[in-house]
Structure 1
Amino acid sequence: VYWDWCRQQVMVMERMQGTPVSQIATLQAKGIDIPKLASDGVEIFFTQVFRDGFFHADMHPGNILVADDGRYIALDFGIMGTLNEVDKEYLARNFLAFFRRDYREVAKAHVESGWVPKDTPIDEFETAIRAVCEPIFDKPLKEISFGRTLLSLFQMARRFGVIIQPQLIMLQKTLLNIEGLGRELDPDLDLWKTARPYLERWMSEQLGWRSVVQNVQAELPYWGKILPQVPRLLQQQLQRSHDNPLNEELRLLIKEQQRQTRWLRVIGFMLAGLLAWQLTAHFLL
């Protein structure tokens, strides 16, 4: 972006040179590896989604050029999508569980991510997911559409009270574009074979020891600032507790209760003494 030339209604960006990705014959004539180009496009998309959580949401062929060295050139960033960490984990778990045909895990991922109510019956939800997904596996794996699978899951989930967030609708649309483009470039493209290693690696990084180390490193500056303040904060809290009028009222109430308890004990001793005196007098008579 050339910021010096930008105005409120004008954005000036670098002009990119390349071959439109739809001109396959021209790309082949330039020696571009078309199957690699197709798989690279899938990996670029999943990198944007799962690593960055920020993806180009309008990746139709008109917005993609190919450099002479085979690199992708994306154009027109007017529509961008974002995903938070919960969304990313939800999607990765769903994709991995789906291709393992672990429909219970798909159901649990929906519930645990908050996309369906927490009281959703897992068994019933699993059965509904199985009814949607199982027929898909009648096709060869390379013909299975990620985008259509995601759409089917969204449609089924609505029956259980889920409201699909706009960012996931954008993701599903973009995924359909990527799939269509990838298979136009390479009809034998197996999206699952291309995406699975990336998804499994990403999940391992999120749940493995590397993730723990990264989270600790990210929190260290915060704890480095907070820990020296802990003694002072504790002292302030104790002081507030001491000065709190409610605590004073509670103290007075306890004191009154203790006073009443002492009087009850005195009365009890007096009654016991009186009873003992009466019994003694009775036996003496």
Structure 2
Amino acid sequence: MEWIQGLKLSEFDAIEKQGLNLLDLISTGIQCTLRQLLESGFFHADPHPGNLLATPEGKLAFIDFGMMSETPETARYALVGHVVHLVNRDYEAMARDYNALGFLPPEVDVTPIVPALQGYFDDALNATVSELNFKSLVDSLGAVFYQFPFSVPPYYVLILRSLTVLEGLALSVDPNFKVLETAYPYFAKRLLTDSSPYLRDALIEVLFKDGRFRWNRLENLLTQGSKDRDFVAKDALQPVLKLLLEPDGEELRLLVIKEAILVMEAIVLCSVVDIHHSLPTFLRSLTSSGNASGLLTLSKEELQSITEFRDQVYRIWGLWQTSENFDPTILLPIVQVLQHREVRILGVGVAIGVSQRLAARMLQQLILSSFTGSSAS
């Protein structure tokens, strides 16, 4: 036991007079609670304003540990995945989370739950992450629970209590405060960097769908994750990169080859177009139709789509570079990975794929040119 000098967070005026920002302290309380819930698994279950003190140094102190609870290890990972699945409206994955969270026995088929989740949460999520309200989401989730044989574990009830109390405290200061907006960067960072098999697989589910890589999801995760004070850019995606080298990573390697081909093709095509635009007018007039998109059999719509895709890839790389903790050694694991046989095979596959796609475009252009010339004669 020790004496903590400080002001209760309910003493708004006194805290402001000390030059402290109450919302910053509350945000710190949310971050601390998340780490208790999802890292140590042992958390303060009664964080009301009287149990949170603002110290003269501007720190936040938790007191009165009479009501504590534990989060099972499996549930810690499932909760991270659950929030990300919720934000991304991945209701199938969200339904499967309930088995891992202990709401339903593993043998229960969660398929019938998916339409109910979609029906309730589509309305609640008809907004950006920054506009989500935690209490409304809890109410919606409760409505779903009543329709199915859920058994809510005691730890989960205390988690809801803790976060709802913190949100209520924040709302008393700022009616527009959203606890999920404050919390989501932590969840995004954990999903991008945690090496647990559960979260690694959850990240793959978020990023890949129907054989395609969802670059917009990666951009969103990096944008949000970089807002977390502990985010380290070089740690992002490392669990997925490691999986590429494992024996059971064959399916992922094939998806990566396919996506890498599209990325390289977009970069090459856009580079050709950029070079063409930089040529003098008389040289540009020598190419088919007088423009690079005609030379490469690209419609304006296709060229725009490819350019947007290339720009998005560049933006994602920029997010790594502009991270406060960016470290050029982020490339070191890639150099090490290149020494592995599996990745050399990946490189060959990408090179062959890009060559084939570019060759197909050139052949298509030759055929079209020949047909056009014959028609004209």
TM-score range, shorter chain: 0.5 to 0.7
Match of residue 186, structure 1, among 174, 189, 193:
174
In structure 1, the residue corresponding to 2:125 is in which secondary structure?
helix
In structure 2, the residue corresponding to 1:44 is in which secondary structure?
helix
In structure 1, the residue corresponding to 2:57 is in which secondary structure?
coil
Alignment of 1:168 with 2:156, yes or no, is yes
Higher RCO (CA < 8 A, seq sep 6+)? 1
Match of residue 97, structure 1, among 53, 77, 85:
85
Amino acid at match of 1:28: E
My pick for the range that moved more, 115-124 or 81-90, is 115-124
Q: TM-score, length-normalised on structure 2?
A: 0.48
Amino acid at match of 1:34: L
Aligned to 1:195: 183
Do 1:87 and 1:113's aligned partners in 2 also have CA atoms closer than 8 Å?
yes
With over 3 angstroms needed to count, the CA separation of the structure-2 counterparts of 1:211 and 1:146, relative to structure 1, is farther
1:125-140 equivalent positions in 2, closer than 5 A: 125-138=113-126
Match of residue 28, structure 1, among 3, 16, 30:
16
With over 3 angstroms needed to count, the CA separation of the structure-2 counterparts of 1:177 and 1:97, relative to structure 1, is same
With over 3 angstroms needed to count, the CA separation of the structure-2 counterparts of 1:23 and 1:72, relative to structure 1, is same
Larger radius of gyration: 1
Pairs aligned (count): 201
Aligned to 1:82: 70
Q: Deviations over 1:226-279 (max 9, x none)?
A: xxxxxxxxxxxxxxxxxxxxxxxxxxxxxxxxxxxxxxxxxxxxxxxxxxxxxx
Q: 1:104, 1:62 → 2: CA distance?
A: 40
With over 3 angstroms needed to count, the CA separation of the structure-2 counterparts of 1:114 and 1:65, relative to structure 1, is closer
With over 3 angstroms needed to count, the CA separation of the structure-2 counterparts of 1:210 and 1:137, relative to structure 1, is closer
Amino acid at match of 2:6: G
Deviation at 1:154, TM superposition (A): 4.6
Q: 1:82, 1:28 → 2: CA distance?
A: 34
Do 1:42 and 1:195's aligned partners in 2 also have CA atoms closer than 8 Å?
yes
My pick for the range that moved more, 60-69 or 202-211, is 202-211
What are structure 2's unaligned runs of at least 5 residues?
201-237, 243-377
Aligned to 1:61: 49
Do 1:117 and 1:162's aligned partners in 2 also have CA atoms closer than 8 Å?
no
Match of residue 46, structure 1, among 13, 34, 38:
34
Deviation at 1:212, TM superposition (A): 11
Q: Deviations over 1:108-164 (max 9, x none)?
A: 211344422445444321011112222212467555333552454255235332211
1:142-157 equivalent positions in 2, closer than 5 A: 142=130, 144-150=132-138, 152-157=140-145
Amino acid at match of 1:161: P
Deviation at 1:88, TM superposition (A): 1.0
Q: 1:151, 1:135 → 2: CA distance?
A: 12
RMSD: 2.6
1:116-265 equivalent positions in 2, closer than 5 A: 116-138=104-126, 141-142=129-130, 144-150=132-138, 152-203=140-191, 204-205=193-194, 206=196, 207=199, 209=238
With over 3 angstroms needed to count, the CA separation of the structure-2 counterparts of 1:163 and 1:178, relative to structure 1, is same
With over 3 angstroms needed to count, the CA separation of the structure-2 counterparts of 1:155 and 1:170, relative to structure 1, is farther
Alignment of 1:17 with 2:8, yes or no, is no
What are structure 1's unaligned runs of at least 5 residues?
1-12, 214-285
Q: 1:69, 1:124 → 2: CA distance?
A: 52
Aligned to 2:282: none
Deviation at 1:211, TM superposition (A): 11
With over 3 angstroms needed to count, the CA separation of the structure-2 counterparts of 1:157 and 1:89, relative to structure 1, is farther
Do 2:167 and 2:178's aligned partners in 1 also have CA atoms closer than 8 Å?
no
Do 2:133 and 2:180's aligned partners in 1 also have CA atoms closer than 8 Å?
no
Do 1:38 and 1:183's aligned partners in 2 also have CA atoms closer than 8 Å?
no
Deviation at 1:41, TM superposition (A): 1.7
Q: TM-score, length-normalised on structure 1?
A: 0.63
Q: 2:174, 2:25 → 1: CA distance?
A: 9
Do 2:9 and 2:53's aligned partners in 1 also have CA atoms closer than 8 Å?
yes
Q: 1:31, 1:20 → 2: CA distance?
A: 15
Over the matched positions of the two proteins, sequence identity in percent amounts to 26
